[in-house]
A and B are shown apart, each in its own frame.
Chain A
Amino acid sequence: MSIRERLSGNEATAFAMKQINPDVVAAFPITPSTEIPQYFSTYVDNGEVDTEFVAVESEHSAMSACIGAEAAGARAMTATSANGLEYMWEMVQIASSMRLPIVMALVNRAISGPLNIHSDHSDAMGVRDSGWIMLFSETNQEAYDNMLMAHRIAEHKNVNLPLMVCQDGFITSHSIENIELLETEEVRKFIGTYKPEHYLLDRKNPIAMGPMDLQSYLFEHKRQQWEAMKNAKQVILDVSKEFEKLTGRKYELFEEYKMEDADYVIVCMNSTAGTVKNVIDKLRKEGIKAGLIKIRVFRPFPGEEIAKALLKAKAIAILDKTPLLSETGGPLYEDITSAMYTQKINIPAINYSYGIGGRDVTEMQIESVYKDLQELKEMEKPYRFLGLRSK
């Protein structure tokens, strides 16, 4: 039975964590994810979960504590944002290289400086090749659902990689919206008990974790991480299928909206996708064949699948919610155009940097992108700004 509720993205995430009932949560509060450990610590205090809550003195320690707990054989979780994730950076890489399926809620926010607490994807993009699986969420519902699927994916024996569930700071993290929740019993049955193959507290099978790894082995171990990331794709699809059977809510590597016959396509992630869908419906009434690809799984990146889905488009706009500080476009643009190149697909594709530091993303902005695409003849001015003031 699903429960009709209204929750913010942060409340939904904390509630998912309560239903998951992890062994350890270690977190240091930072806006806008602060509410997640705050709500969760209330569950701990009320005795509604069995979790050991470790209130650490920094994000570096938060991830370190998660690594220690997960290596010992426990299920560990954390939540952070922006500069908190940056402060964690060293341990983020160690978590994935030790193949520890830690799950993190990342509430996406601009990174300083100058100081800005609002949403963009700079934080996530700074760790995009850290060996973590990265799922993005359009709504509070998707943030909740992705979190419920997270452990099943991360802990799968062919994967064993940490996973982060991303959502847009404030835009979904602090907005109250409708949501369908599962019963806790259903959640626990779906997720199951964590039974790691190797762990430190297994006295019968003593192992070393995180030792020196020099010229003769590190390369092979990195290759194994790469294999695990490749394996994750199928596992994500399988777990999502099972989740669909349970909830009726369908999840794939990416969502295609009105793509069957789309001439003009926007590719984006997180909350903007909903706004794009509204604009598509409006344009379709005017006879303009607009479509959307919304990336859910950003790592492992489904490059080949996305490139193939774009095959029939006349023009493509790739929206990066990161400032354009490179000369070759934003991360999403680089990934997609690279995939298109290897698939020998040559369709004009332009890049927009948008929504930086919480700049509101409006339907009018999105409409202007589709207008640009209709006028686009060749690959011209591939790097653009959307919603930037001209003076």
Chain B
Amino acid sequence: MKDLIEIRWHGRGGQGAKTASLLLADAAFNTGKYIQGFPEYGPERMGAPMTAYNRISTSPIRVHSNVYKPDYVVVVDDTLLSCVDVTAGLKEDGAIIINTTKEIDEIKPLLKGYKGNVYTIDARKISEEALGRYFPNTPMLAAIVKVTEIMNDEDFIKDMEGSFKHKFSKKPEVIDGNMKAIEIALREVKKVQ
């Protein structure tokens, strides 16, 4: 991992991108890193495009601004590809991870000539299989951890178990499903460019 990695999340209100960014910050924190996790708050409406950010660093983070030149971009909803400039500022040696069932040929024209790595994952299928409902954020969280290599699969799984036990202390029935979603996502995220 580089000394500093910056991540931008694109999602829609209600899909849990903010939670995913905070869980990613948690996971990186547990590996001893300095972290920032913050959403860009706007008029919060279900379905409206929203952005969240992470910084993960080996030294204290002082900057307090949004991320303009991300190393990684996570797109939680592929309908955003046609209405948000998701590759803006994205570094060529970084990657974009998209929740989609589409093939690379279909996505490519929407990425405005981005030449770096592109990963896809079908978070809907994974979530519905593991949780019986559509919560794309857990599979996307697993995907970004896998792609950035912030930590290895085993440590991440152990870590998330703890986080979910805390987060879902009042509804333990969803813990197993979320853990399953993570395990499948770690296997299924694939590089398509």
Which residues of chain A have a CB within 8 Å of any CB of chain B?
Answer: 6, 117-118, 168, 170-172, 174-178, 271-272, 274-275, 277-278, 360-363
Contacts and interface: CB of A to CB of B under 8 A. Distances in A.
Interface residues of B, number: 19
Interface string B12-35: 000000000010011001000011
A226 B182 CA distance: 61
B65 A275 contact: yes
A360 B66 contact: yes
5 contacts: A6-B26, A118-B41, A174-B39, A274-B62, A275-B65
Given A6-B25, A6-B26, A6-B29, A175 B65 contact: no
A72 B62 CA distance: 42
A275 B64 contact: yes
A175 B29 contact: no
Given A6-B25, A178-B29, A271 B37 contact: no
Contacts of B1: none
B41 A171 contact: no
A176 B65 contact: no
B38 A272 contact: no
B41 A117 contact: yes
B52 to A, nearest CB: 10
A6 B35 contact: yes
Q: Which of B29, B39, B65: most chain A Cβ within 10 A?
A: B65
Contacts of A175: 36-38, 64
Interface string B33-76: 01111110100000000000000000011111110100000000
A363 B154 CA distance: 37
B38 A363 contact: no
A174 B38 CA distance: 7
Contacts of A278: 62-63
Interface in B61-96: 61-66, 68
B36 A176 contact: yes
B36 A274 contact: no
Contacts of B29: 6, 178
Contacts of B62: 274-275, 277-278
A363 B69 CA distance: 12
B61 A177 contact: yes
Given A275-B64, A275-B65, 8 more contacts: A6-B35, A174-B41, A175-B38, A176-B36, A176-B37, A178-B61, A360-B65, A361-B65
A226 B152 CA distance: 60
Interface pairs A-B: 6 shortest CB-CB:
A274-B62, A175-B38, A271-B64, A176-B37, A6-B29, A362-B65
A45 B154 CA distance: 37
Contacts of A361: 64-65
A170 B41 contact: yes
Contacts of A360: 65-66
A177 B35 contact: yes
Contacts of A117: 41
A119 to B, nearest CB: 10
Contact of A176 (B35, B60, B63): B35
B63 A275 contact: yes
Contacts of B61: 177-178, 274
A234 B85 CA distance: 53
A258 to B, nearest CB: 13
Given A175-B38, A178-B35, A168 B64 contact: yes
Nearest to B55: A177
Nearest to B33: A178
Nearest to B64: A271
Contacts of A277: 62
Contacts of B60: 178
Nearest to B57: A178
A363 B65 contact: yes
A144 B137 CA distance: 31
Contacts of A174: 38-39, 41
Contacts of A275: 62-65
Contacts of B68: 362
Nearest to A270: B64
A272 B64 contact: yes
Q: Which of B26, B34, B41, B63: most chain A Cβ within 10 A?
A: B63
Contacts of A271: 64
A360 B65 CA distance: 6
Given A175-B37, A178-B29, A178-B35, A274 B22 contact: no
Nearest to B34: A178
Nearest to B54: A176
A172 B65 CA distance: 10
A172 B64 contact: yes
Nearest to B26: A6
Q: Which of B38, B61, B66: most chain A Cβ within 10 A?
A: B38
B163 to A, nearest CB: 12
Nearest to A176: B37
Contacts of A170: 38, 41
Given A6-B29, A117-B41, A176-B22, A363 B63 contact: yes
B34 A176 contact: no
B39 A171 contact: no
Contacts of B37: 175-176
A145 B5 CA distance: 28
Interface in B113-133: none
